[in-house]
Amino acid sequence: MSEGRHVLVTGAASGIGAAVVASFAADGWTVTGVDLREAPLRASLEGLAATPIVADLAEPDAPERVVRRAWESGGPLDALVNAAGIYPARPFLDLDAALWDRVQAVNVRAPMLAVRAYAALAVAAGRPGSVVNISSGAALRARPGAAHYSTSKAALEMLTRAAAVELGGAGIRVNAVSPGFVTVDSTANPVTEEYAAAVSVNPLGRRGRPEDIAAAVRWLVSPAAEWVTGTILRVDGGASAGTTALPAHWPGLTDVQTPGLDHEGAHL
């Protein structure tokens, strides 16, 4: 158990963020949960040792304001989990500056500002800490309608590495978890079943659960990972290793490919 320890989780109203909140709370942590949607946030935190903060993290001053409020009202933070993110579908030729900017603001700028604010408080207090950012397989593989999202997650992974390099000397570890397709039934970021089926094929043969990602987050924050920083942990059923969705490209060998034959097919 981890009584007396305090974590701030953004995107806490549903999906991965809600599972992360439940995992920390079950282990005795005090949790501050942040989300834009008040009713779902309160429902997610009901019955847990958790305090809700409603905020739009796309507002430039919101991430620092939220971190400071959590620190002052719930006690010094031991960990920060940036799980908030948006995934609007928009074809590249229809993508405009306003939507691009909002995706980058929520998915990249907000985590950067939150980590900066948290690290400043932790350094001033002489406390070590841990940050976990939630990335995506989209950081490695582009997909139709997601140029803004894929770019934001690729940037978040580099932000994770950069912050790890600069904050390691202060005892602050910064890592990321990159989920494969996780079934979250999100009303904030809905996807069609056709899309889910296309992106959820993986060697382990099942879709991810929010609890799979929460377990990885908890490990990265735990003492067991005290020498781990700047890492992007792929929790995707093996999807980033390769695909099982393709057949063998050819059923047999050609003469040129056959061992023990010369170029005319005669045995050497």
Task: State how beta strands 232-235 and 79-82 pair.
Answer: unpaired
C-alpha 32/C-alpha 45 separation (Å) is 9
C-alpha 64/C-alpha 70 separation (Å) is 10
Assigned token pair, 70: 């959590």
Catalytic positions, written as ranges: 149
C-alpha 11/C-alpha 36 separation (Å) is 8
> Helices (DSSP H) in 53-188: which residue ranges?
62-74, 97-104, 110-125, 147-167
Side chain identity at residue 209, one-letter code = R
- The CA radius of gyration of the chain, in Å to the nearest whole number, is 21
C-alpha 194/C-alpha 168 separation (Å) is 42
Element (H, E) at 212: helix 210-221
| Contact in structure between 216 and 235 (CB atoms under 8 Å) | yes
| Contact in structure between 29 and 5 (CB atoms under 8 Å) | yes
Give phi and psi for 23, each to the nearest 5: -65, -45
